[in-house]
Structure 1
């Protein structure tokens, strides 16, 4: 949450890679649920944008809507999401159909799904699952190049090349999550959406995964939309954070500003809800320094 990071976030908005305008999604039924309501959001090129909020607030629905992965009874009722490639121009994602949409998804925008640790096919080894990406999207690539590139991908995320022949059950949870990240970056996408990528991992492995994501972003230059309910985690890695409640963005700003001077009452409650690491309420950031602002907020309630 350095000043340099905030400056980088501001600069990246001048070069957006994804823009979301007045985006709404409903789940139709006897009682229609307005899951996402009139979202306006910009993801800058090379930026890590955190999307925080409680379970059921619409975070994953928004991600699935952007990538056109929603299924009935979900329905996009308004707005649009646009992709701005490095090469120039604008792609309205709502206009993509069939093979064009299938080719776009993993090549330009990839996704690490919620529960991705268990998304690998249990009866196919890692090499075959990585190669399948290239067979589908790079059909002219030779088998030798597919194997070499698959091994390179594993090494890039900190997994030994020898693990190509392993099956998912032979890998730890953290290694499986790294494999999923390798798959998501296989085609060099410009945007990676990560939906709760560290859920069910212990804190040590979480730290390793976050370090890898930060390093890879710096090395490869892709933008990240990082979705989680874990606001302290987002405060560590994000350039900006959007806080979502009941389908709406209630606050958006630089990570440091959101932590030190939150404007919305819901953001303040969310910040105050995390347990302390040192015994002081609100002291959840891994600095060992209590947050006086949050302590004063608690005293006002007494």
Structure 2
């Protein structure tokens, strides 16, 4: 029996407890289906990354989950309360069941450690007792899947281009074949050609491995190309959540309508922005 959801967020509130508390995520409820790409869009500062960090329990003080729940529905049939996990249990869940691709690959990768060592760290932690030769094979296969020559496994991050570093981050996130990958603006600061290549890789890997994706970006036209559903955030709240096709053609919330109209076009009317080039037969719906 296929489960309806792999992740459920229920009435989540996140507050930054500063001198003047900031309510960064307000009463957010979302579900993520197995194999689904859920886009999360909104302007800078609307709470997208705070939500992602709450899901993965990476937020630090003064950020605090004030209320709500986040439940991971494992493929083995069990439900995991992510907010209630001990630190030890949380380390076991991260990367093996739920992983994240951070914004800014050069900052996320350790600049003084080889790619091999950084991939190996995750395998040593989560696959204790696995022989070194087998770990090497898995790491090289992960690089190969994302289009990086396995020979580059001995390179340091500064020896790779921005696009290759981002591919390494994706390889690291999928190394243990998690069921959910959260991607926080994974194509930011990359040129358009490299961006398209990486988007194609993400969709291909999703189809090949079956993981679900939460894809965070302020680039709504990009999400219309790759997402099954899109959630629109404004000042910490999800103001609209619908299929990509409905968001594009029948946006309900005034903010969504303004967001769509804000993207210029090289030709035609403002908002006539739908781009092609990913190689799909149709926009995801």
Q: Which TM-score applies when normalising by structure 2? A: 0.94
Q: Which residue of 1 aligns with 2:157?
A: 168
Aligned runs of 1:147-166 on 2, under 5 Å? 147-166=136-155
CA drift at 1:116: 2.6
Q: 1:225 aligns with which of 214, 220, 226?
A: 214
2-side partners of 1:253 and 1:61: how far apart?
21
2-side partners of 1:218 and 1:124: how far apart?
31
1-side partners of 2:188 and 2:106: how far apart?
9
2-side partners of 1:117 and 1:219: how far apart?
27
Secondary structure of the 1:158 match is: coil
Q: Is 1:191 matched up with 2:180?
A: yes
2-side partners of 1:30 and 1:219: how far apart?
48
Q: Is 1:71 matched up with 2:60?
A: yes
2-side partners of 1:214 and 1:277: how far apart?
26
Secondary structure of the 2:272 match is: coil
CA drift at 1:27: 0.6
Judged with a 3 Å threshold, the aligned counterparts in structure 2 of structure 1 residues 112 and 287 are, in CA distance, closer, same or farther, namely closer
1-side partners of 2:155 and 2:78: how far apart?
42
Aligned pair count? 276
Aligned runs of 1:106-255 on 2, under 5 Å? 106-255=95-244
Answer yes or no: is the 8 Å Cα contact 2:14–2:26 preserved in 1.
Answer: yes
2-side partners of 1:262 and 1:70: how far apart?
32
Secondary structure of the 1:241 match is: strand
Q: Pairwise CA RMSD of aligned residues?
A: 1.3
Higher deviation after alignment, 272-281 or 45-54? 272-281
Structure 1 gap ranges (5+) = 1-11, 289-302
1-side partners of 2:128 and 2:222: how far apart?
39
1-side partners of 2:162 and 2:147: how far apart?
14
2-side partners of 1:271 and 1:231: how far apart?
7
Q: 1:83 aligns with which of 72, 83, 89?
A: 72
Q: Which TM-score applies when normalising by structure 1? A: 0.89
Structure 2 gap ranges (5+) = 278-285
Which whole-Å deviations, capped at 9, do the CAs of 1:104-123 have from their partners, x for residues lacking one? 11111000012234311111
Aligned runs of 1:280-299 on 2, under 5 Å? 280-286=269-275
1-side partners of 2:203 and 2:70: how far apart?
25
Aligned runs of 1:30-49 on 2, under 5 Å? 30-49=19-38
Q: 2:92 aligns with which of 100, 103, 107?
A: 103
2-side partners of 1:205 and 1:287: how far apart?
14
Which is richer in helix? 1
Q: Which residue of 2 aligns with 1:54?
A: 43
Answer yes or no: is the 8 Å Cα contact 1:39–1:249 preserved in 2.
Answer: yes
